[in-house]
Copies of this chain bind each other. A is one copy, B any other.
């Protein structure tokens, strides 16, 4: 097991997470080991996309350590509620899935308490939690080869845009005669 996270030392990665994510959240730290394990199990030099099965913490690890971000479209979040990520060849959909494996947590009880929400946050021993995360590294993880379904890897073309006749802003005409906001999805009063 390597204690490096991509090109960073653990301490460097800890600070990068703190700066971007706002705090050194346990999930984002473990996420660093997850990304590292996934990348090391991909063929070298391929262009890959990322799929993240949770909205919580893990997307930030992916964005910090890979070329995949939400804004460039290489990272997709599919909120299935599982602490797992997949990296896969952009063209073939072949890749790897890494998940945080409860079956490997026996030696790491404080990680287990945190992950399974077995203690209220106030009762967690956070010193022990951070020590266990660092010591466990990739020992908490499992990996399997995956093939992404073809409809998931199709390039989404955005098509023509027009001005919405109601709000006057640009929107994709494939959304209909009005933009989605003016069709009722506006989150504003």
Given the contacts A187-B51, A187-B149, A161 and B97 also touching, CB distance less than 8 Å:
no
A169 touches B59 (CB 8 A): no
Q: Which residues of chain B are within 8 angstroms of A87 by Cβ–Cβ distance?
A: none
- Report the separation of the CA atoms of residues A83 and B146 in the bound assembly, to the nearest whole angstrom: 35
B28 and A187 contacting across the interface, CB-CB below 8 Å: no
Please state if B56 and A117 are interface contacts (CB–CB under 8 Å): no
Chain B's nearest CB lies how many Å from the CB of A93? 8
Using a CB–CB cutoff of 8 Å, the interface residues on chain A facing chain B are 20-23, 25, 28, 51, 53, 55-61, 63, 67, 69-74, 77-84, 86, 97, 99-103, 115-117, 146-149, 152, 158, 160-161, 163-164, 167-172, 175, 179-181, 185-189
CB pair B78–A169 under 8 Å, yes or no, is no
**Minimum CB–CB distance for A177 against chain B, Å:** 13
C-alpha spacing A173/B22, complex, angstroms = 28
Q: Is the CB of A97 within 8 A of B170?
A: no
Closest Cβ of chain B to A103, distance in Å, is 7
Shortest beta-carbon distance from A106 to chain B in Å: 14
B67 x A60 contact (CB < 8 A): no
A61 to B97, CA, bound (A): 28
Q: Which of B25, B79, B102, B146 interacts with A169 by CB under 8 Å?
A: B102
Bound CA–CA A103/B148 (angstroms): 42
Partner pick for A117 among B58, B147, B161, CB 8 A cutoff: B161
